[in-house]
Chain A
Amino acid sequence: MNDPSIARRRLLTGAALGTAGSIGRLLVPAGAAATGLGNALPVRAGQAQPRFDDVSPLDAWTDAFADVRESYGPVQVTFDRALPAALQGTLYRNGPARMQRGDTAYRHWFDGDGMMHAFRMNGSSLHHHARMIRTDKYVADEQAGRFLRSGFATRLPDALPVARADDLNVANISVLPLGGELLALWEGGSPWRVDPLSLRTLGRKVWSPETDGVAFSAHPKVDVDGTVWSFGYMAGSGKLVLYRLDPTGALRETRMIEAPNADMVHDFAITGRWLVFVLMPLVFDRESGGGETSFIDKYRWRPERAGVVLLIDKNTMAVAHRFETPPTAFFHIGNAWDDGETVRVQLMQVDDFQGLMGNVLDAFRRRPVDGPVHTGPVEIVANLARRQAAVRVLSQEEAEFPRVDPRHLGRRTRSLFVATRTPSMPGQLFGLNAVARMDTDSGQMQRFDYGEETLVEEHVFVARPDAPEGNGWLVGTAWNRVTRRTTLSVFDATAVDAGPIAQARLPYGLPLGLHGTFVAA
């Protein structure tokens, strides 16, 4: 019982018991308090409508996930201004949604069951619909009336054993439209098929017996010719599986490569010539803590080990180059390109990986963030002739959820669209409250600040047909923590700082999500 999370949880439980009588906001499952098993959070109950001046920033993340429904909509709302005629289509977006079941709450954002959203934009109207993704895991939990298995970061008492990664698959990270379906993507297991019109879950995606149950990344890359590249990793295996799919979604090739430091690989990059992996010295120790710690607690940041860049030839799908880099923690890659001698990869460097995970845990415990961890854009520059890779800071600004012009993926770009943070954000609150276009040549940021009440989600770049790189719109949602409503905003991507050119406010708030993609009508 040396898991510090248990000690923290006991403290939390004690605090909750001390205040529950006075404010009636927390219910502590008696069994959990008595046994001290697991690290799930007590559930908040009896959400009252907040008074405007009485909303603590510390409640934001639990409020955003309180009373999440099975589905939202379909509803239709009107934009405050007409949309550009060329901007018609659907923003599909995925994200963790269900964080509670019975008297148990997950303690980390990434644990939540996925929900698929369709934001359909047509003329001056926004049509929104969302449904829970009914994975095997979700259906089993629903039938049992409780979370059955310990997840990514939450260890439950009486958890059922896990036989394969898909037992835990919450399909909650991103979405790939492919072959007339949507694939709801996790990163540790299979994609889940979702009908793009009804958002009904159609089943697990299996391309072949060899890839049955093999992890498929949440960040596949659609090449300029329509080829879809992806990968899968399995912590502790020392291997990566590479996938090449044709534009119809048929699996054309898989390849297994040896990969050091491949214990957590969230994103990768493509250039004209290469698939690029930047592998972190984040080491998974399966034996760490025995059965007493959750998956995330088994990771250790090992900065004494170098980072590794792998360049894989797109034609042969074999490793052609391997460089060491300074250890660089990150989740997301912006763009990457090569000019023959050098390969450049933009990534959102996390100053302290485990600290960032701690920030998320703090947010869901309604605690002030314990030293907000900076995440900002850097560029890895790998020189093929010198066999060296260096890290260059692109900006000191906060930046996450990077998006680029998809028509120029793997080619040189200047426009990087990110979510960022301004000083108007309450200091103790985890998250982001602004969006920006960054000129990656100059480092200059053109920013729109949603203000102190708002948490922003990923904003997706949508290209204007026949326009140059970076010319188009930025489309995304933001959640107001005071009104608890979600608004979808559209920006001119060349003038983000001018503010939204159209906004539509939904009649409800949505759980804070992760990644989306736009499909033009």
Chain B
Amino acid sequence: MKRIRSKHLIPRALLLAAPIAALPTAAWSSDLELKVENVKSPGGDIRIAVYGSPADYRKSAVREIKAAAAGDPVSIRIAGLPAGDYAIALFHDRNGNEKLDSNLMGIPTEPYGFSGTQRNLMGPATWEQAKFSVAPDGAAVTVKLSD
């Protein structure tokens, strides 16, 4: 089983790009309404990576977003995404150390989730499992955090 590498999930350099999410919506782009469910303990942040292609999946995100894990669910609008296929990986950074904590075997010890409806999360979802489409008029996606 491959571990989820937190450095790939949320590359440090791209954290600087997070404010992009707050930019005004461009005319040619759409909004994604993301709902994160199963936020079992309030506090810390939901850290979200949005990927735009299979080649970049879990390597280089088109968006990196951080949202306070204030309640359950947490709803986030990700504005200005060109229509197309995307996949989301996210985790609940409960201790605010900006990384997905994991044990010796590389298994996350903080809740995480992927877009899509794969049945078995023992290991990261594939692009095919996680991908969804954003239409010109936007999209709504729900991701359930692991227990």
Contact = CB atoms under 8 A, between A and B. Distances in A.
Nearest to A235: B1
A212 B94 CA distance: 15
B108 A164 contact: yes
Nearest to B118: A161
A163 B111 CA distance: 9
Given A161-B119, A162-B122, A234 B147 contact: no
Contacts of A212: 103, 109
A291 interface: yes
Contact of B104 (A136, A165, A211): A211
Interface in A110-126: none
B21 interface: no
A161 B101 contact: no
Given A164-B146, A286-B1, A214 B105 contact: yes
B57 interface: no
Given A211-B103, A214-B103, A161 B120 contact: yes
Nearest to B108: A164
Nearest to B122: A162
A136 B147 CA distance: 10
A234 B106 CA distance: 10
A241 B107 CA distance: 13
B146 to A, nearest CB: 3
Interface string A126-166: 00000000001000000000000000000000010111110
B104 A163 contact: no
A167 B107 CA distance: 13
A213 B119 CA distance: 20
A239 interface: yes
A149 to B, nearest CB: 9
Which of B101, B103, B112, B118 neighbours the largest number of chain A CB atoms within 10 Å of its CB? B103
A234 B103 CA distance: 12
A286 B123 contact: yes
B121 interface: yes
Contacts of A232: 105
B1 A163 contact: no
Contacts, number: 64
A312 interface: no
Contacts of A214: 103-105, 107
Contacts of B108: 163-164
Given A210-B103, A212-B103, A241-B104, A163 B146 contact: yes
B109 A239 contact: no
A236 interface: yes
Interface string B7-43: 0000000000000000000000000000000000000
B135 to A, nearest CB: 26
Nearest to A239: B105
Interface residues of A, number: 26
Contacts of A235: 1
A241 B147 CA distance: 24
A210 B119 CA distance: 27
Nearest to B144: A161
Nearest to B106: A237
A165 B103 contact: no
Contact of A164 (B104, B118, B122): B122
B122 A165 contact: yes
Interface string A233-264: 01111010100000000000010100000000
Contact of B1 (A237, A241, A256): A237
Contacts of A234: 1, 105, 107
Contacts of A163: 108, 111-112, 121-122, 146-147
Interface string B43-82: 0000000000000000000000000000000000000000
A18 interface: no
Interface string A54-98: 000000000000000000000000000000000000000000000
Which of B101, B105, B108, B147 neighbours the largest number of chain A CB atoms within 10 Å of its CB? B105
A210 B106 CA distance: 9
Interface string B103-135: 111111101100000111111000000000000
A102 interface: no
B107 A165 contact: yes
Contacts of A162: 120-122
Contact of B120 (A210, A241, A291): A291
Interface in A26-72: none
Interface string B69-102: 0000000000000000000000000000000010
Interface of B: 1, 101, 103-109, 111-112, 118-123, 146-147
Given A162-B120, A214-B103, 5 more contacts: A164-B121, A209-B109, A211-B104, A286-B123, A291-B120
The 10 closest A-B pairs by CB, nearest first: A163-B146, A163-B121, A236-B1, A212-B109, A161-B121, A214-B103, A291-B119, A210-B104, A234-B105, A212-B103
30 contacts: A161-B146, A163-B111, A163-B121, A163-B122, A163-B146, A164-B107, A165-B107, A165-B122, A167-B146, A167-B147, A211-B103, A211-B104, A212-B103, A212-B109, A213-B107, A213-B109, A214-B104, A214-B107, A215-B105, A234-B105, A234-B107, A237-B105, A237-B106, A254-B104, A256-B104, A286-B1, A286-B123, A291-B118, A291-B119, A291-B120
